[in-house]
C-alpha cells in the first residue's frame, strides 16, 4: 500500500491504526468496501421485491373505477380506500357473494391433514436413515433427494396417471377385491388432492427432519438406555423432544408453499369443490379481477406472517450457533 | 447354575413378539420396510410416467408396447404430435432453457456479491437487507408471482411481458439460494485465509479474487446448479409473468396439456425435462464431490451436497 511513501512517524501511526482495525474487524478493508458489494442485490430486492409488495397494497386499497370495475393502484397511502378491501375480507368470513369462507376453511383443513401426514410418513424414514443408515447413508440420501430433481408438475402428472380410472391404483385395488369397480379418484375428491399435496411436499419435510435427527448424539440415547429406559421410552423422552425443532421447521417449510398452491388441486381434481386459496387468487388474476387477487394475496401474507417470522428467527439463531 | 443354562436357549430359540419388541438391539426391520415403501412410493410413479412416454399408443395408463414415436414420430394416429414434430413444444423447450441460462447467469453473481457484502458489512443496512432476502425465500411463490405481475403491469411498464418479465421474476425468486449457500460457506471458511493473505501484503481486492473466491467455488457451483435446475422446473412465476404464447415454458405446457388433451407426448416432454435436470444435477454432484475431495474433507459428497440444498 501507499504506506511506504509516507514519513516514518506517519507510517507507524498508520500501521497502529490498521492494527486496531484488524483486531476489530479481522482484516482491514476500506470503509465502503463490503457495502458496495451488497448494493446491486439491495437495489434488486428494493425494486423487484419490496416495491411489488407495495404494489399489492396500492391495488388492494386502490380506486375501483365504477364503470369498468377495474382497480387502479393508488400509490399514496393517505388516499387509500378500504371499502373494496372490507368487502372482500367480508367474503372471507362468510359475508357477501361469492362466499370465500369455504375455500379458506378447505385450505386450512387440507394443509393441516397433509402436513400432519407428511410428518407421520417422513419421520420414520428420516429416523431410519439418520440412525441406521450406516454405510448406505449416501445411497439413502441420494434416493431421498431424488424427488427434488424431478419437477413438481411431473411428479403430480405421474401420481395422477396412476389414479386414472384405468390406472394402476384402480387395477390393483379391483384385483385385490378391495373395490368392486374403479374409483373415480380424479373427479373432485378431497382425498386425492390431499394425497397429491403429501406426495408433492414430503421431500421438503424429510430433509430438515433428517438433519435434525442426525444431529442427535448417539451417546444421549445410550445414556437413556443405561438409565433403564426401554426403546419406546427413549424415543418419547429423548429423541422426540430433541427433534421438536426439526419437526416444526419441516412443518413450516411444507405448509408455506401449500398455502400458495393452486396447481396441485387443479391437476388432481380441477373441480370447484376442491379449490384452495391459491386457486381463488389464480382465478381472479386470470379473469382480470386484480383488486380481488391483491386483497387475497394480502390476506394470505397476513395469515402466514407468524410462521414465516418464526422460521426466519429460528434459522437465524441456528446460523448464529454454528 | 441350572436356571442359567435353561434360560439361555429359551432366549434365543423361543422369542415371542413381546421379547422381540423389547430387545434394544433388534434390527430395525419395520423402519427399514417403511423407508423402502416410502422410497418406492416416491419414485415408482415417476418411473411409470417415464415408461409411458415410450408407449406405442395414445394411452397413458395401459401399456401397448415400446416405441419412441412420442419423441420423434411423425404422422401419429389421430393427428397427435410428438415432441420434436410439434413446433410449439420445441419452442417451449428453447424458452425453458433460455430462461434457465439467463437466470443462472444473473442470479448467481448477484447473489455472490450480495452474500459477500451482507456477511462482511456490519452496518444497520446489512441486517435489514438480509432479512428482506430471507423473506423472499420463505414467501410462497404465488405471492411473489402475483406481486411482480402487479408491479410490471402498473409501475414498471417498460418491461414487456414474456421473457423479460419471466427472467426478472425468476432472478428475484432464485437470488436467495446462492446467497444462503455462499453465506453458509463463508461462515465455515472463516476469516483466517484472507487475513493471512492480507498480512502477506495482498490488497483487499487481491485477497478477494485470489484467496476467497477460489475457496467459494464449490458453493458458487452448487448454487448455480440448483438455480438452473429450479428454473427448468419453475411454473408459478413463469406462468404469472408469461406474455405471448412464445413465452410458454415446458412446465406451462405440461399444466395446460394435462387436463385438456393428454397424450404420452406430455410424458415425453416431462421425461426430457427430467433428463435435463438430472444431468445438470449429476454434473454438479461430480464437480462438488471432486472439489470436496480436493480439500481433503472426509465428508460424503452426496451428504454435503444434500445439506447445502
- Tell me the domains of chain A and their CATH numbers: 104-293 (1.10.3720.10)
CA distance A153 to B256: 11
Are the beta carbons of B148 and B237 closer than 8 angstroms? yes
Residue-level pLDDT at A26: 53
Task: Classify burial at A236, counting beta carbons within 10 Å of its beta carbon; exposed 0-12, middle 13-18, buried 19 or more.
Answer: exposed
Q: Mean pLDDT for each 10-residue chunk of chain A (322 residues)?
A: 62 74 61 83 92 92 81 86 87 85 94 96 93 86 85 89 87 88 87 94 91 88 85 87 90 92 90 91 89 92 90 72 49
CA distance A118 to A253: 11
Residue-level pLDDT at B157: 86
Chain A interface mutation, best of B97, B120, B146, highest count of A Cβ atoms under 10 Å: B146
Longest pairwise C-alpha distance within chain B: 94
Which SS3 state, helix, strand or coil, does residue B55 take? strand
Do the chains contact at A260 and B171, CB–CB below 8 Å?
Answer: no
B131 in a domain, yes or no? yes
Residues of A in contact with B144 (CB under 8 A): 49, 52
Residues of A in contact with B138 (CB under 8 A): 252, 256, 308, 311-312
Residue A144 contacts B, CB cutoff 8 Å? yes
- Sign of the torsion formed by the C-alpha atoms of A308, A252, A247 and A131: negative
Candidates A27, A149, A322; nearest CB to B194:
A27
> Considering only CA atoms, which of A290, A306, A74 is closest in space to residue B149?
A290
**CA distances in angstroms from B29 to A86, A125, A229, B34, listed in the order given:** 57, 12, 21, 9
Find where cell 411409470 sits.
Answer: B48
B28 in a domain, yes or no? no
Are the beta carbons of B52 and B63 closer than 8 angstroms? yes
Residues of A in contact with B22 (CB under 8 A): 230-231
Chain B interface mutation, best of A3, A45, A52, highest count of B Cβ atoms under 10 Å: A52
Cα torsion through A140, A144, A149, A154, rounded to 10: 130
A75 C-beta neighbours (distance < 10 Å), count: 13
Residues of B in contact with A44 (CB under 8 A): 110, 171-172, 175
Residue-level pLDDT at B5: 46
Overall domain count for chain B = 1
Q: Which CATH number does the domain housing residue B130 bear?
A: 1.10.3720.10
Residue B62 contacts A, CB cutoff 8 Å? yes
Residues of A in contact with B117 (CB under 8 A): 34-39, 41
Are the beta carbons of A278 and B142 closer than 8 angstroms? yes
Residues of B in contact with A157 (CB under 8 A): 49, 254, 258, 266-267, 270
Residue A236 contacts B, CB cutoff 8 Å? no
b/e for A101-112, b at 16 or more Cβ within 10 A? eebbebbeebbe
**CA distances in angstroms from B74 to A242, B51, B84, B150, listed in the order given:** 59, 20, 9, 42
> Considering only CA atoms, which of A66, A77, A101, A95 is closest in space to residue A296?
A101
B32 in a domain, yes or no? no
Q: Degrees (nearest 5) of the Cα angle A58, A60, A62?
A: 60
How many CA atoms, within 13 angstroms, populate the side-chain half-sphere of residue B229?
Answer: 27
B277 in a domain, yes or no? yes
pLDDT tens-digit profile of B255-275? 888 767 678 888 888 888 888
Residues of B in contact with A161 (CB under 8 A): 45, 48-49, 52, 60-61, 267
B226 in a domain, yes or no? yes
C-alpha cell at A52: 411489488
CA distance B282 to B304: 14
Question: Residues, chain A, total?
Answer: 322
A63's enclosing H/E stretch is strand A63-64
pTM of the model: 0.85
Find where cell 407468524 sits.
Answer: A306
Residues of A in contact with B43 (CB under 8 A): 143, 146-147
Residues of A in contact with B153 (CB under 8 A): 290
CA distance A283 to B300: 46
Residue-level pLDDT at B294: 59
Give the list of residues 6+ apart from residue A6 with CB closer than 8 angstroms, or none. Answer: A14
The range of the structural domain enclosing residue B119 comes to: 87-308
Residue A133 contacts B, CB cutoff 8 Å? no
What one-character DSSP code corresponds to residue B163?
A: H
pLDDT tens-digit profile of A54-102? 999 999 998 888 777 778 888 888 888 888 888 888 888 888 888 899 9
Are the beta carbons of A114 and A197 closer than 8 angstroms? yes
B2 C-beta neighbours (distance < 10 Å), count: 6
Chain B interface mutation, best of A38, A192, A267, A269, highest count of B Cβ atoms under 10 Å: A38
Residue A251 contacts B, CB cutoff 8 Å? no
Residue B300 contacts A, CB cutoff 8 Å? yes
B77 in a domain, yes or no? no
CA distance B53 to B67: 9
Do the chains contact at B34 and A132, CB–CB below 8 Å?
Answer: no
- Surface of A (152-211) touching B: CB under 8 A: 152-155, 157-162, 164, 166-168, 199, 202-203, 207, 211
Residue-level pLDDT at B47: 93
Task: Compare all CA atoms of chain B with the CA of A118 and give the residue at the minimum distance.
Answer: B38
- Surface of B (211-270) touching A: CB under 8 A: 229, 232-233, 235-236, 240, 251, 254-255, 258-259, 266-267, 270
- The CA radius of gyration of chain B, in Å to the nearest whole number, is 26
Are the beta carbons of A29 and B120 closer than 8 angstroms? yes
Do the chains contact at B198 and A28, CB–CB below 8 Å?
Answer: yes
B147 in a domain, yes or no? yes
φ and ψ of B66, to 5 deg? -90, 140
b/e for A168-183, b at 16 or more Cβ within 10 A? bbbeeeeeeeeeeebb
Are the beta carbons of A278 and A299 closer than 8 angstroms? no
> Considering only CA atoms, which of A102, A99, A92 is closest in space to residue A303?
A92
SS3 content of chain B, % helix, strand, coil (to 5): 75, 0, 25
Residues of A in contact with B171 (CB under 8 A): 44, 48
Residues of A in contact with B260 (CB under 8 A): none
CA distance A185 to A160: 9
In DSSP terms, A63 is beta-bridged to A72
φ and ψ of A209, to 5 deg? -60, -45
> Considering only CA atoms, which of B217, B223, B232 is closest in space to residue B305?
B223
What one-character DSSP code corresponds to residue B296?
A: T
CA distance A303 to B3: 66
Tell me the pLDDT of chain B (309 aa) as tens digits: 444 444 444 445 556 777 776 666 677 888 899 999 999 999 999 999 999 889 888 877 778 888 888 888 777 776 677 888 888 888 888 999 999 999 999 999 999 999 998 888 877 778 888 888 888 888 999 999 999 999 998 888 888 888 999 999 999 999 998 998 898 888 888 888 888 888 787 888 888 888 889 889 888 988 898 898 889 889 999 999 988 888 889 889 888 887 676 788 888 888 888 888 888 878 877 877 776 665 544 444 445 555 444
Q: How many CB pairs under 8 A join A and B?
A: 288
Are the beta carbons of A193 and A110 closer than 8 angstroms? yes
Which SS3 state, helix, strand or coil, does residue A72 take? strand
Residue A238 contacts B, CB cutoff 8 Å? no
Are the beta carbons of A162 and B45 closer than 8 angstroms? yes
Task: Compare all CA atoms of chain B with the CA of A256 and give the residue at the minimum distance.
Answer: B140
> What is this model's ipTM?
0.84
B35 in a domain, yes or no? no
Do the chains contact at A260 and B142, CB–CB below 8 Å?
Answer: yes
Do the chains contact at A315 and B34, CB–CB below 8 Å?
Answer: no
Mean pLDDT (chain A, rounded)? 86
Candidates A129, A157, A285; nearest CB to B258:
A157
Candidates A147, A225, A294; nearest CB to B24:
A225
Task: Compare all CA atoms of chain A with the CA of B159 and give the residue at the minimum distance.
Answer: A48
Amino acid at each position: 500500500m501507499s504506506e511506504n511513501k509516507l514519513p516514518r512517524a506517519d507510517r507507524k501511526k498508520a500501521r497502529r491504526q490498521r492494527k486496531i482495525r484488524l483486531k476489530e474487524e479481522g482484516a482491514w478493508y476500506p470503509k465502503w468496501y463490503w457495502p458496495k458489494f451488497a448494493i446491486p442485490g439491495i437495489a434488486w430486492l428494493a425494486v423487484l421485491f419490496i416495491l411489488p409488495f407495495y404494489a399489492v397494497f396500492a391495488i388492494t386499497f386502490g380506486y375501483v373505477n365504477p364503470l369498468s370495475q377495474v382497480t387502479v393502484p393508488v400509490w399514496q397511502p393517505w388516499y387509500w380506500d378500504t371499502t373494496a378491501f372490507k368487502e372482500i375480507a367480508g367474503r372471507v368470513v362468510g359475508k357477501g357473494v361469492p362466499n370465500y369462507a369455504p375455500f379458506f376453511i378447505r385450505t386450512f383443513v387440507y394443509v393441516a391433514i397433509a402436513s400432519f401426514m407428511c410428518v407421520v410418513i417422513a419421520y420414520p424414514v428420516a429416523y431410519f436413515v439418520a440412525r441406521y443408515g450406516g454405510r448406505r447413508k449416501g445411497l439413502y440420501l441420494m434416493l431421498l433427494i431424488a424427488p427434488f430433481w424431478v419437477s413438481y408438475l411431473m411428479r403430480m402428472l405421474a401420481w395422477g396417471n396412476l389414479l386414472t380410472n384405468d390406472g394402476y391404483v384402480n387395477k390393483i385395488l379391483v384385483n385385490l377385491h378391495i373395490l368392486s369397480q374403479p374409483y373415480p379418484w380424479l373427479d373432485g375428491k378431497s382425498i386425492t388432492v390431499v394425497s397429491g399435496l403429501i406426495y408433492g411436499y414430503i421431500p421438503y419435510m424429510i430433509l430438515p427432519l433428517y438433519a435434525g435427527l442426525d444431529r442427535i448424539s448417539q451417546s444421549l440415547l445410550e445414556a437413556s438406555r443405561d438409565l433403564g429406559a426401554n426403546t419406546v421410552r427413549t424415543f418419547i423422552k429423548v429423541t422426540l423432544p430433541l427433534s421438536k425443532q426439526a419437526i416444526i421447521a419441516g412443518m413450516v417449510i411444507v405448509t408455506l408453499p401449500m398455502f400458495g398452491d393452486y396447481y396441485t388441486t387443479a391437476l388432481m381434481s380441477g373441480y370447484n369443490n376442491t379449490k384452495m386459496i391459491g386457486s381463488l387468487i389464480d382465478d381472479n388474476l386470470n379473469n382480470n379481477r386484480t383488486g380481488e387477487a391483491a386483497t387475497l394475496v394480502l390476506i394470505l401474507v397476513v395469515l402466514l406472517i407468524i410462521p414465516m417470522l418464526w422460521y426466519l428467527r429460528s434459522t437465524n439463531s441456528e446460523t448464529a450457533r454454528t | 447354575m441350572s436356571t442359567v443354562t435353561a434360560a439361555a436357549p429359551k432366549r434365543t430359540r423361543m422369542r415371542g413378539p413381546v421379547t422381540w419388541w423389547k430387545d434394544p438391539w433388534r434390527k430395525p426391520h419395520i423402519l427399514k420396510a417403511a423407508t423402502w415403501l416410502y422410497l418406492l412410493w416416491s419414485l415408482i410413479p415417476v418411473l411409470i410416467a417415464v415408461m409411458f412416454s415410450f408407449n406405442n399408443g395414445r394411452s397413458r395408463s395401459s401399456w401397448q408396447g415400446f416405441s419412441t414415436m412420442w419423441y420423434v414420430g411423425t404422422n401419429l394416429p389421430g393427428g397427435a404430435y410428438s415432441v420434436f414434430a410439434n413446433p410449439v413444444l420445441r419452442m417451449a423447450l428453447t424458452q425453458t432453457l433460455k430462461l434457465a441460462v439467463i437466470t443462472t447467469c444473473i442470479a448467481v453473481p448477484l447473489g455472490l456479491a450480495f452474500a459477500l457484502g451482507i456477511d462482511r458489512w456490519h452496518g444497520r443496512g446489512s441486517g435489514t437487507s438480509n432479512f428482506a432476502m430471507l423473506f423472499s425465500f420463505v414467501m410462497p411463490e404465488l405471492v411473489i408471482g402475483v406481486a411482480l405481475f402487479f408491479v410490471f403491469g402498473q409501475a414498471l411498464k417498460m418491461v414487456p411481458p414474456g421473457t423479460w418479465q419471466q427472467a426478472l421474476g425468476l432472478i428475484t425468486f432464485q437470488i436467495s439460494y446462492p446467497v444462503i449457500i455462499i453465506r453458509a460457506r463463508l461462515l465455515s471458511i472463516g476469516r483466517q485465509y484472507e487475513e493471512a493473505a492480507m498480512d502477506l501484503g495482498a490488497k483487499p481486492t487481491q485477497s478477494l479474487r485470489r484467496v476467497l473466491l477460489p475457496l467459494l467455488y464449490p458453493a458458487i457451483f452448487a448454487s448455480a446448479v440448483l438455480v438452473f435446475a429450479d428454473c427448468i422446473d419453475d411454473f408459478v412465476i413463469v406462468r404469472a409473468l408469461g406474455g405471448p404464447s412464445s413465452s410458454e415454458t415446458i412446465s406451462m405446457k405440461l399444466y395446460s396439456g394435462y387436463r385438456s388433451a393428454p397424450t404420452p407426448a406430455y410424458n415425453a416432454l416431462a421425461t426430457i425435462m427430467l433428463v435435463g435436470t438430472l444431468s445438470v444435477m449429476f454434473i454438479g454432484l461430480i464437480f462438488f464431490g471432486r472439489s470436496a475431495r480436493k480439500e481433503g474433507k472426509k465428508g460424503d459428497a452426496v451428504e454435503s451436497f444434500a445439506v447445502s440444498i
